[in-house]
Each structure stands twice: as structure tokens, then as C-alpha cells.
Amino acid sequence: MADILKKRLEKCSRLMKAGELDVLLLAKPANMFYLTGDGRLCAFAMITKDGEVALGVPRTDVDDVKLYAKSGSITGFEDEVGMIHSIAHYFEHFGIKESVVGLEYTFLTQSMMGMLTHPHAKPEGVKVKDCTHIMSELRRVKDEEEIKRIRAAAKVADAGMKAAVESVKPGITESQVAAEAEYAMRQAGAEEFWRSYVSSGERTNIAHGLPSHRKLNSGDPVMIDIHPIVNGYSADMCRTVCAGKPSKEMQAAYDFYLNAQQAAIAKIKPGISVGELEEDMHSMLRGAGHEEHIFGPPIHGVGIEFEEAPLPPGHAFFHGEKEAPPLEANTVIAVGNCGLYTGNFGVRVEDTVVVTETGNEILTGYRRELEI
Amino acid sequence: MADILKKRLEKCSRLMKAGELDVLLLAKPANMFYLTGDGRLCAFAMITKDGEVALGVPRTDVDDVKLYAKSGSITGFEDEVGMIHSIAHYFEHFGIKESVVGLEYTFLTQSMMGMLTHPHAKPEGVKVKDCTHIMSELRRVKDEEEIKRIRAAAKVADAGMKAAVESVKPGITESQVAAEAEYAMRQAGAEEFWRSYVSSGERTNIAHGLPSHRKLNSGDPVMIDIHPIVNGYSADMCRTVCAGKPSKEMQAAYDFYLNAQQAAIAKIKPGISVGELEEDMHSMLRGAGHEEHIFGPPIHGVGIEFEEAPLPPGHAFFHGEKEAPPLEANTVIAVGNCGLYTGNFGVRVEDTVVVTETGNEILTGYRRELEI
């Protein structure tokens, strides 16, 4: 792990120099985890362009952080004032007075930004710039260990989906279906998971169908979207099933969407861009009159976060990301996120896919069938 | 519900006028939910100082939003560009050209801020100001229906804690303990929950002990912190138990902390401030030499979010909140969040408490005993 972190820091140095950044001040756990080995809430990491690392964490956590962060100095702080002072301390420690610090504009709230750039934290001569694109570029292509962890997360997603789908029957609530998925994912090896989505009936027509108390009726579509975390890495998987016999209309919409999703996956190989894949999937849906029945990017990256860069260009722009280069081997993406929302119901099938040297491999394997 | 929303909008108008804000542009689901009846991801609400309401949501969601939002106009958008255009549309619709718009500085990232204030969204003459304090002031004292829901969430937390504690035994992982709590909470009526914390052994010494694959050993302390969501409202509850026979040192630390927490709760009544309660609990801990063994505010508000305003003054300041006035009846707070982190292990007991006319009532009731 120490070797991997060293390599990442070296690449980070090169990107920082190219991007004219002297130091990064990170607070997003996913980014801190990637570059230091430890990412936690209420903490920060400072990374210089020479690859030096410093961490500030709650003082209660110092010993625990040492188990994960393999290099650099670690300071514990007692509260927000202490955090600000420890940032100032590291700026001084690294001799940084007139320079440019990179901050995570896609993560920091206005108030967090205020803390990190507080006059008692940041020297006046230090300018502030977004570093989102550097972290996304670093995390874009996965190494062997990362692929292994995402593969493990995909297996856990399969186990969670199986448990959820097997629980689907009239009378059970959406929240209870989510309970089955989450319980099974933790038993199968997830240390955590991102928020689960379960919607049913007409609620499958909404873009972010968080579970409610709605009870399934016979013949309802049920949309289940889960994202386990295994050793710090995620997978993203969605299935739509029917609590009974699907109507012809529902089966036709499902078959059509699944075909479009699988056709998009079939095109994945090094050299194609997420923008092209988006256009490909959209044009299939548009061609069948579904232009107004989709929402959200059909494709996005998967890694430490279940939804991360690369994003298709339009979404990337508005989410503060730069347009990603064409896919390379060992990039991991999820395909099928846009859904097909007919107005009466929605269907969605989403899988986590790794780009290989010659094509791709689908990591999430649970059956793709509407009828159970 | 329509009556309650009307009252809230009237109070909001008064606060906006006093705060010299002409319109709010909200994107935080908790705030949108409070003022419009609907709060969802990837959406916005515009509230004028005359109490007019407009919502922009994913176009897939328009019919669903109408089930919850009882007044105002609703527009569906197809993507980020559409969202920006619908914000512009409402500025025009309300005739707002030269004025001040309130944004949620404690919620918006730099990139979200960029979208909401994009030149194609916000008229040039409209200035931007933080509205966090207005939303916190509105949500500070709960109405009858809110108390009822928080009370229900507290009962669900009790059920979750019971299941988690009953699962504690050597060999089970922290993640599996969390699984039991979460499963039980969903079965007991939670539609969702905020991230669960379960830590054990030396990991109880960290401030944010998210569950890991660590297996419990006999005699380990286990810290369990859960936050169900029931009909949109939360409770916050933490217990520390021992997987076996606690050591004398652990029992003494536990007894001491529990006494301090219960003594702080005993002082809660209208007129006392969260700052005084913090000082009270801190001074008890300091008095026993534990000044360096605590982290985070011992007191915080509970409502739609499991951790919200009011916060003690220091934390409030750095989290972009204004200092809250002394407690009033029907304010709900959690007491015991600071923990006692000895270095070898930590103990924490936290309960959700409602301020009554004459004192307080503890809503979370599960037994407070280290030994199980």
C-alpha cells in the first residue's frame, strides 16, 4: 500500500505542477483516502507539490489514523479553532507564503470554504484555486488493487440485490425491501453502503426514488438501486422487477431499455468516450420517442464513490469537472443510470463495468429480468 | 398540513423582511421540505418575501411533487441547463430584477453555488446573501406534528438499539451490528436513516466511528450511534455496551460519563441556552481531568436532520450558524454527543430530549447500561 500511495503522490506532483498548484488542502474523505491511505470526516490533508503529506484529524483519532496513513505528519485538533490553527501550522511548516492552494470546489460548502481559508488558517499571499480536476484525473484509471475491491463490491451488490428481489411481494414496504438489500450487503462483506433507492408503482417514475412506507401491490414495478462499500470501494447496480405479472406495456418498456443498456455496454472499449456512450444510449431512446422520458447521465464513473468522474461533458461541466479523455483500460463506469420514465412507471437497469484492454467486463451479474 | 405550511411561510416572510432578503433560493431537501412540503434531491424552491412558492424538479417527478407540495407552481427540468433556465424563468415570473436572494451557504458547494448564480439563472442586479440563519430560526422550535414525528423516530431508535445491542457478542463484526440496528429500524417504521456509527475496542476512541470489518472480542466496548428517519423526522441516540464483562476502568468511565450526561439533561428547561448546557457538561468532564478527552459539541438540535441548529456558540459560528437564543419549549436537542475518549477506549451515551414548558422529557428510552 505504501508503494501505491507513493506512486499516486508522484503523479499528483506532476499534475499539480502542470496545473500551477503548489499545495492541495483536501477535506473530502474520498480524496484524502486516495492520496494518504486515510480518509475520515472532520479532517484535512495537505499535500505539497513535492509529495509531502500532512494530516489534521480530531485529536481522539491520531492513533487510529496512523494505522492507515503511511507517511507524513499527523496533528490532532480539539475543535474548529484548533483545526484552523493546525492548517496555519502546516502552511508555516512547509514554508508556504506566496503560492496557490487547491481546494475541492465540488465538495466544500461555503461555510467549510470559510474555515479552510480563514485568515488565521491561510496566509494572505496564498491564492485559492479549484483542484477537483486533478483529483478526478488521478482517480480516473484504477490500479489492480482498486479493481479487485470494486469487483468485490460488485459481488456484494449481487448478494444485496438477490435478497431484495427475493423479498418483493405484495404488502411489503419499499423500506423493507431496502432493509433486505442492506442487511445482506453487510453480511456479505460491506462495511458500509451509500443511500439505497427503492421505489415502487407510480413512484418508479421519479428520478431519485428513496424508499418510502408505500406497500407494494400485485403487478407493481419495483426499482432497486444499491451501492455497497467494500474496503473503501463501491459498485453501482440497479434492477427493476415486477411484484407479480408485468403488464405488456411494462414488459415492452423494460425489454427496450435493457436492450439499449446492453447495446451501450457492448460498445465499451478503450478509446470510446463517455460522451459518445451517452449519445449512443440517448439516441436509441430518442429513436423510440423517449426523448422526454430520461433523467440524469446514463454513464458515470465508479470507484471510491459510487458516482464519480468521468461524467459525460454536459454534466461534467455543471458539476465542476473537466471533460474526461476517452476511456482507458481499468476505468470503471456504471451504465444505465438515465432510466426510462414513461409517466405511469419507470424502468431502469444499471451495471458496473470495467474497461479492459480489448473491450469490457460487466462486474455486477445479478439476473436482468423484470418477472421474478 | 396546508395550514402548517401557510404559517411557516408567514413567519418566513417576517424573517426575510427583517433580514432584508427578497427571495430565497433553496436547494437543501430539509429546508425545501419544511417550507413547501416537498424536499428532494436535484431540485430547488424559490420563496418570495410575500410567501409565494415555486418549485423546480426533475421533469420525471412533477406528478409526485404535487402529492406533497400544496401550493405554488411546479416546473420540471430535463437537465442542469434546464434547471438554470427554470430559475431564470421564476426570477422573471416574480418580477425580481434588483434585489437580494438568500442561498444556503452551509449546504451549497462551490459548484452548486455556481449553478444557482449562473448568469443565465440569476439576474445581474440580484445580490446574494446567506439565508442559513433564517431557516435555522424557522426550524428551531417544533410544532405539535413535528414533535409527534420525532417521538415516533425515538421509538424506532429504541427498537434499532435493542436489536443492535442484542446482537453484540464476540466474533460478530461492527458492520453486522449496524445491520441489525438498521434492519430493525426499517421494520419498526423508518423509511430511511442517517449513516450509522458502530465502533468497537480501541476504535471506540475515534470521533466518528463508522462501522468496519473489525470483529468484536470478549470484553470490548461497543459504541452504537443511530439516527432513524420517520415521516421525515429524526432522532439521535448513542449507547456504549460491553461485549462481555467490562473492566473496572471501563465501568468507571462509563458511570462517570452517564452521570454527567444525565446531570446536563436534568438542567434542561426553557430559558437555559445550549451554550450553558455545553459549559455545564464540559466543566464536569474537565473537573475530572478529561479536558483532552472530548470532541464535538455535546449538544445539538434534532429535527428533520439528526444534527441541526441550535449548536453551542463556538460550533455555530464555524458552521455558519448564528448563536441561538435560550431554549424554548418544543425545541428538541440531543445531549451527550461529545463522548469521553480515554485513549484506550471511548464511551458515549446520547439521548434525544424535548424541552417542555416546565423542564424536559427524554424521548429515547433504551436502557443505559454498559453491561448487557
B86-127 per-position pLDDT tens digit: 999 999 999 999 999 999 999 999 999 999 999 999 999 999
pLDDT tens-digit series, residues A311-366: 999 999 888 999 999 999 999 999 999 999 999 999 999 999 999 999 999 999 99
B210 vs A contacts (CB less than 8 Å): 191-192
**B121/B109 Cα distance (integer angstroms):** 17
What global pTM score does this model have?
Answer: 0.97
> Left if phi > 0, otherwise alpha if psi is -120 to 50, otherwise beta: which for B339?
left
Q: How far is B192 from chain A (nearest CA, A)?
A: 7
CB B353 within 8 A of CB A150: no
Q: Using one digit for the tens of pLDDT, what is the confidence trace for B178-208?
A: 999 999 999 999 999 999 999 999 999 999 9
A66 touching B (Cβ < 8 Å): no
Strand, coil or helix: what is A230?
strand
Select the residue of A60, A205, A208 nearest B205 (Cβ to Cβ).
A60
Quickly state the pLDDT bin for B71 (edges 50, 70, 90): confident
Q: What is the pLDDT of residue B75?
A: 96
What CA–CA distance (Å, rounded) separates B1 from B234? 19
* pLDDT number for residue A272: 98
Residues 6+ apart with CB under 8 A from B122: B87, B88, B91, B101, B116, B128
Assess contact for B19 and B38: CB atoms under 8 A.
Answer: no
Q: How confident is the model at residue A1 (pLDDT cuts 50, 70, 90)?
A: confident
pLDDT confidence tier of residue A70, bands split at 50, 70 and 90: confident
The nearest CA of chain B is from the CA of A58 a distance in Å of 7
Please name which of B43, B38, B26 lies closest in space to residue B101, comparing C-alpha atoms: B26
Q: What is the structure's pLDDT at B124?
A: 96
* Cβ of residue A183 closer than 8 Å to a chain B Cβ: yes
Residue A370, phi-psi category: left (phi > 0), alpha (psi -120 to 50), beta (remainder): alpha
Q: Which amino acid does the sequence have at A325?
A: P
Most B CBs within 10 Å, among A109, A225, A292, to test the B interface: A109
The yes-or-no verdict on residue B284 having pLDDT over 90 is: yes
Q: Which residues in chain B touch residue A60, judged by CB atoms under 8 angstroms apart?
A: 205-207, 293, 295, 339, 341, 346
Q: What is the DSSP letter of A26?
A: E
Q: Three-state SS for A192? A: strand
Our CA-based measurement puts residue A190 at a distance from the nearest CA of chain B, in whole angstroms, of 7
Mean pLDDT calculated for residue range B293-303:
95
Quote the pLDDT of residue A2: 86
Region B3-30: mean pLDDT is 97
**A333: closest CA among A357, A358, A305?**
A305
Q: Determine the 3-state secondary structure of B96 from DSSP.
A: coil
Give me B60's grid cell: 420525471
Q: Is B317 helix (H, G, I), strand (E, B) or coil?
A: helix
Task: Check residue B160 and give its pLDDT.
Answer: 98
Residue at grid coordinates 474520498:
A30
Site of grid cell 446492453: A262
Section B210-236 average pLDDT: 98
Instruction: Return d(Cα B131, Cα B104) in angstroms, integer.
Output: 6
How many helices (H) and strands (E) chain A has is answered by: 11, 16
Query: Mean pLDDT throughout A275-300?
Result: 94
Question: What pLDDT digit, counting tens, does each position of A204-244 carry?
Answer: 999 999 999 999 999 999 999 999 999 999 999 999 999 99
Domains and CATH numbers, chain B: 2-139 (3.40.350.10), 141-362 (3.90.230.10)
Inter-chain CB proximity B186 and A175 less than 8 Å: yes
Q: How confident is the model at residue A71 (pLDDT cuts 50, 70, 90)?
A: confident
- Contact status of A58 with chain B (Cβ, < 8 Å): yes
Quote the crossing angle between the two packed helices B174-187 and B144-167, to the nearest 10°.
Answer: 140
Which residues fall within 8 angstroms of residue B241, CB to CB, at 6 or more apart?
A: B165, B168, B221, B222, B224, B369, B370, B371, B372
Optimal mutation site among B156, B186, B195, interface A, most CBs of chain A within 10 A: B186
Give the orientation angle of helix A274-287 with respect to helix A248-266, to 10 degrees.
Answer: 150
CB B359 within 8 A of CB B300: no
Nearest by Cα to B136 from B38, B242, B274: B274
Query: For residues A19 and B303, what is the distance between their CA atoms, to the nearest angstrom?
Result: 43
Choose among B61, B80, B195: nearest Cβ to A206: B61
DSSP, collapsed to helix, strand or coil, labels residue B303 as: coil
| Chain B, window 224-263: residues with a beta carbon less than 8 angstroms from a chain A beta carbon | none
* pLDDT at residue B70 tops 90: no
Report the alpha-carbon distance of residue B198 to residue B181 in Å, rounded: 10
Edge-to-edge strand order for the sheet containing A351-355?
A299-301, A332-335, A351-355, A360-362
What 3-state class would DSSP assign to B293?
A: coil
Q: Is B208 helix (H, G, I), strand (E, B) or coil?
A: coil
- CB contacts under 8 A, A 317-346 vs B, are 317-320, 339, 341, 343, 346
pLDDT at position B2? 86
CB distance A59 to B346 below 8 Å: no
- Candidates A268, A323, A271, A336; CA nearest to A297 is A336
Burial class for A14, CB neighbours closer than 10 Å (0-12, 13-18, 19+)? exposed
Tell me the three cell numbers of residue A108. 466544500
Digit-coded pLDDT (tens) for A3-41: 999 999 999 999 999 999 999 999 999 999 999 999 999
The rounded distance, in Å, linking the Cα atoms of A256 and A259 is 5
Residue B1, pLDDT above cutoff 90: no
- Give per-residue pLDDT as tens, A260-286: 999 999 999 999 999 999 999 999 999
Q: How far apart are CA B370 and CA B246, in angstroms?
A: 8
Give the model's pLDDT for residue B72: 86
- Among residues A139, A232, A295, the alpha carbon closest in space to that of B213 is found at A232
* pLDDT for the residue numbered A68: 95
Instruction: Give the Cα separation of A304 and A306 in Å (integer).
Output: 7
